[in-house]
Amino acid sequence: MGEYFAAEQPLLKPLPTEPFETGHWSNPRVDLYVQVSVRTNRYSVPVRLIGR
pLDDT tens digits, one per residue of 2-48:
899 999 999 999 988 999 888 888 899 999 999 999 889 999 999 99
Cα–Cα distance, 52 to 42 (Å, whole number) = 15
Q: Is the pLDDT of residue 1 over 80?
A: no
Q: Which residues contact 46 (CB under 8 A, 6 or more apart)?
A: 34
Answer yes or no: pTM beyond 0.85: no
pLDDT recorded at residue 2: 86
Closest to 35 measured CA to CA, from 19, 12, 51: 51
Cα(38)–Cα(41) distance, integer angstroms: 5
Of 19, 48, 15, nearest to 34 by C-alpha is 48
